[in-house]
Structures are given as C-alpha cells and as structure tokens.
C-alpha cells in the first residue's frame, strides 16, 4: 500500500532517488538526503520487516574515556580473521561517534548513567566497554522507532510499503530504476520506478537457512538482484551463526543477546559442564564462529546447550533484558531460575554486494548499504554490534556522495510495467523455498565439507531448473553464490568452517570477489564432475 501520510503533493508520482528497503540503513540514508526528494520502497511496513528492529545488543562506538579508535579497529581486525579492510574500518570507526550523536538528535533514548553520560557495555571480542544500548536489549527496536518518527516528520521522504522489488533495471553501464510488485508481492502486475540513483538496503540472507534469527524478508533477494544485474559480490561464503538463538522451535528463532554473556552468563551442557572453557581461553566471550561451533558440537552430540543466566543476571532479568525474558516466558522457561536452551542460527551475512567507501557498487547508478553489502569491515567474522554502526556510517556517506555527484534533482514519471505480469508466488510458503532452506542448513551450515557443498550446488541447480519465477531466481542466485564461494575456499576462516580443511591457509588470506557469470561456470563444472 502507499501510505497517504507519506505522499507529499509535490511528488505527483515521480522519483529521483529510490531506496530499496525500510531498515536502519534505508531510513538513515533518506533522512541524511533530506530535503532532497526520496522514495523508499519497503516490502513490509517500515519497522516490521527489517533485521535492524530486532537487534538487541546495540551499536559499537569508541566513546569511553579509556577507549580509542585504534583499539576498536584492532578488535575488529582480530575478529575478522585476517581479511578485514583496515582502511574502510578506520573510516567507519572514526565516524562512529558522530553517527551516535545523529541518532541522539533523532530521538534515540540510549541508556545513560546518573550523570547523564552514555552507559557503555561490553560484548564478545571487544577489549573495552563500547556498546551503546537501550534498556539492555531493545536498541534495534528503539532506534527504528525514533527513525520512523523522524521520517514521518520529513516531507521530502515518501514511503511506499508492501512493494517487493524484484528487478534492477540496467541500461548500458547504468542502473536506471527498479521494478516492484505491489500488495506485499502478491499483485499480478508490477510497477516500474525509474530513478537516477538506486540505493539498495534490502537486508541479509537469514531465511536461506532453516534456522535463523532474521525476519522473513531477509532471504537474499537484494544480493541476487544485484548479481543478476552484473554487480560484483564479495565474500559470500562468510555467514555468521549466532551461537545463542533460543531453541524453542520458533521460526524465526528468538535471540538470547550476546550482552547476556558479556554480563557473565555461561554456556553449559545437559551435564552442567561449561564446555567453552575447553575450546577457547575467552570461554563464552570467544568470537562468535568459535562459540557457534562449540554449541553446535554439543547439540550434535545429544548433550544440548544451555545459556545459564541464573547467577549472573538472576532476578534482574525482567528489567535488564525484557525482550529475551518475554520470549523465554512465552515458551514456559523462566530464565531467572532455569538455563535457556540454545542453538546456532544464521544471524548475519558478512558477504554481499561489493561497495567502496562511498557506498558505490561496481555498477554506475547503484549504491548499497547495510547487510546487503560487503564493505570489507567485517572480514570473515563480524565483531559484535559493528553491524548497526556500519549501516549508519555508510548510509550517511552514500547521502553525501549522491548529493555531490547528482547535485540537482531530476524527476521521472513512473507507471505500470508490461513485463512479468503473472501469478506471483508466496515465497515463504512455497515447497521449493522450504527445500532450499533445508538444503542450505544441511550442506552449507556451521560445518561444511567438499561433499556437502557439492551436494548443495547440485541441489540448487535442480531447484533453478524446475522453478523459473523471478523472485525465486533472485533468492536461489544468492544461495548459489554462497555455496560456490564456500567450495572454492579450501580452508577454514571466521564464519566459514570446512571440516575437511580445518586450518587457515596463507594463500587464502584474501577476500573473495565473484560475479554471477563466474559462479555459473563453476556450478556447471560441479554438475559435470563425478559425484563426491
């Protein structure tokens, strides 16, 4: 639907800049572009279909007296397992405090101490307390609420909700607009939106997998669309599994925030043993990939894994972590007195559309920000709470770049598109999508092998052959890029673990760059080879 409140009369159905996605990166970019006319296309009502709104931990920024930019960069590089782009990271970290102040001006109620100073907490792999939070575990929800209110009060921003963008329109070397399907993707017709600048902020890939903490809309469509348009995709094999999704059979899985472990909660198995102490000297505060594999091993062994907050948080749980508390109590678990059953779940994608320091992709006219991108700041394993920081920093840089490169708005009419007027498919309910999710979890999950990845690539090829819908093609394209890159990287690094290649290899201390054409050739080679 087109929300009337967001339809200033001056637009009259015309566009200059189109932002795809109504999450943190998209809204922040639109606000930074004001008063320039901007149209945001969102698949779901803004604030409901974005992973940003579900983020519990907060935003990392070096703002305390004992902290420095150098320390924040060093922690990011260490977590990223050798392939972090340090130049991009320094830029992001240096601009972090300014973006926190922007969010404060937009009305975000970050936690403060009795003197009114920002209250900073610590999370895994951070050497200092630098996480800015809201009521313990409500940062994402509170940030989104503040930005949505700011967008509603900005007349230059038009939000069109319930439009699923299915295709980037390319003319020569330029992206010249998008094509979207109304009615939450259920309309039989589509609408074209010509634009001089398209900003892709469409989110991550969590729902490519059977167990994820991400909303339904995070199914990799943005990466697939960009790849199909010819964009370079970077580091797609690096998928981060959050080690402490609450294991109560819900889809998406509720999250037990990392901040709980930062405040002293421990991981135990059904025998009551703290198994992480046998795996890493930092125990529960080891990097997420290591903790995820530790939890995965206990679950696979039948011992189960549990987050014990009874001593570290105890009776303060309801007020300190209300979101987690509510999820547990709804499932009949009292975290004040009982350990919480947990399992690894896909949480974040370090890979995505390659962008430079200004958020520009490899195709002119297309910028990108947020989880759909790969800026290089996360390397092989994102440092906790750097994701929201990356989203606001690069969204702001995109706004400045567009203002500089396209100084004068040029408005273009939009209307019905003649192509692809067919019966749509509800992707999340379709058998092929369910098959894809299970295939990715089974074969391209926490632990991978050449055999499992080969099986995944062959399964993906069969799903492509038998399902020709454009929206599914975008989704399965992203799955293919992840699986191909994982097969090519014959080592283990960060979020990518190969049981048949368990060590890091120096020749792979580099990023992955892949186009769809290259992935197609590699997939064809796998299809023609003997079964593993």
Active site residues: 288
On whether the CB atoms of residues 450 and 532 are closer than 8 A, the answer is yes
- Residue corresponding to tokens 């939009």: 414
What letter does residue 212 receive in the DSSP assignment?
A: B
**102 burial type by CB count under 10 A (0-12 exposed, 13-18 middle, 19+ buried):** middle
The Cα 274–Cα 164 span in angstroms is 45
Compute CA distances 233 → 217, 379, 478, 482, 484, whole Å. Answer: 20, 14, 10, 10, 12
The dihedral built from the CA positions of residue 276, 281, 285 and 289, taken in this order, carries a sign that is negative
Query: Which structure tokens are listed for 516?
Result: 């769809």
The dihedral built from the CA positions of residue 112, 117, 122 and 126, taken in this order, carries a sign that is positive
Query: Helix %, strand %, coil % for the chain, to 5?
Result: 40, 20, 40
Q: What are the CB-based long-range contacts (under 8 Å, 24+) for 526-532?
A: 526/454, 526/457, 526/458, 526/487, 527/457, 527/458, 527/461, 529/454, 531/454, 532/450, 532/451, 532/454, 532/455
Q: Which residues pair with 316 in a beta bridge?
A: none
The Cα 39–Cα 64 span in angstroms is 37
Compute CA distances 481 → 205, 237, 381, 513, whole Å. Answer: 12, 8, 18, 10
C-beta atoms surrounding 522 within 10 Å: 18
Query: Which structure tokens are listed for 254?
Result: 């509720």
CA angle 511, 514, 517 (to 5 degrees): 170
Q: Cα Rg for the chain, rounded, in angstroms? A: 22
Q: Which of 387, 381, 385 is nearest to 493 (CA)?
A: 381
The Cα 380–Cα 30 span in angstroms is 29
The dihedral built from the CA positions of residue 127, 128, 130 and 134, taken in this order, carries a sign that is positive
Q: What is the DSSP string of 301-332?
A: TTS--EEE-TTTTGGGHHHHSHHHHHHHHHTT
């Amino acid at each position: 639907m087109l929300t009337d409140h967001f339809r200033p009369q001056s637009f009259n159905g015309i566009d200059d800049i189109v932002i795809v996605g109504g999450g943190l990166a998209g809204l922040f970019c639109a606000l930074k572009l004001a008063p320039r006319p901007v149209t945001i296309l969102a698949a779901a009502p803004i604030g409901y279909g974005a992973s940003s709104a579900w983020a519990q931990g907060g935003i990392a920024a070096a703002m305390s007296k004992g902290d420095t930019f150098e320390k924040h960069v060093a922690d990011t590089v260490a977590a990223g397992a050798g392939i972090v782009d340090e130049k991009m990271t320094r830029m992001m970290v240096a601009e972090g405090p300014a973006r926190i102040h922007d969010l404060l001006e937009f009305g975000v109620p970050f936690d403060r101490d009795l003197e009114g100073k920002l209250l900073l907490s610590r999370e895994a792999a951070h050497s200092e307390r630098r996480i800015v939070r809201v009521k313990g575990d409500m940062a994402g929800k509170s940030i989104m609420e503040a930005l949505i209110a700011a967008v509603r009060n900005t007349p230059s921003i038009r939000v069109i909700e319930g439009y699923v963008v299915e295709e980037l329109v390319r003319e020569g070397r330029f992206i010249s607009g998008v094509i979207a399907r109304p009615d939450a993707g259920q309309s039989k017709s589509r609408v074209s939106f010509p634009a001089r600048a398209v900003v892709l902020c469409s989110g991550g890939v969590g729902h490519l997998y059977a167990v994820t903490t991400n909303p339904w809309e995070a199914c990799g469509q943005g990466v697939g669309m960009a790849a199909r348009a010819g964009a370079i995709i970077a580091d797609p094999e690096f998928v981060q599994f959050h080690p402490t999704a609450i294991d109560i059979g819900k889809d998406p899985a509720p999250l037990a925030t990392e901040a709980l472990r930062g405040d002293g909660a421990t991981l135990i198995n059904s025998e009551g043993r703290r198994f992480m102490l046998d795996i890493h000297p930092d125990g529960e505060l080891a990097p997420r990939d290591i903790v995820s594999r530790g939890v995965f091993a206990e679950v696979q062994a039948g011992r189960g894994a549990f987050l014990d907050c009874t001593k570290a948080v105890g009776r303060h749980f309801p007020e300190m972590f209300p979101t987690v508390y509510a999820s547990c109590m709804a499932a009949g678990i009292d975290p004040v007195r009982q350990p919480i059953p947990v399992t690894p779940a896909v949480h974040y994608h370090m890979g995505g559309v390659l962008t430079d320091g200004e958020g520009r992709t490899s195709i002119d006219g297309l910028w990108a920000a947020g989880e759909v991108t790969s800026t290089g700041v996360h390397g092989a394993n994102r440092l906790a709470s750097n994701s929201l920081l990356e989203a606001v920093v690069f969204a702001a840089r995109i706004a400045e770049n567009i203002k500089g490169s396209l100084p004068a708005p040029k408005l273009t009419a939009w209307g019905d598109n003649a192509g692809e007027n067919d019966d749509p498919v509800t992707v999340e309910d379709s058998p092929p999508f369910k098959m894809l999710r299970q295939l990715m979890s089974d074969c391209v999950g926490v632990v991978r092998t050449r055999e499992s990845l080969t099986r995944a690539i062959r399964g993906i090829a069969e799903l492509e052959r038998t399902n020709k819908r454009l929206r599914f093609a975008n989704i399965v394209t992203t799955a293919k890029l992840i699986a191909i890159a994982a097969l090519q990287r014959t080592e283990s690094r960060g979020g990518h673990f190969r049981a048949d290649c368990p060590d890091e290899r120096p020749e792979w201390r580099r990023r992955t760059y892949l186009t769809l054409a290259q992935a197609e050739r590699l997939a064809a080679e796998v299809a023609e080879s003997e079964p593993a």
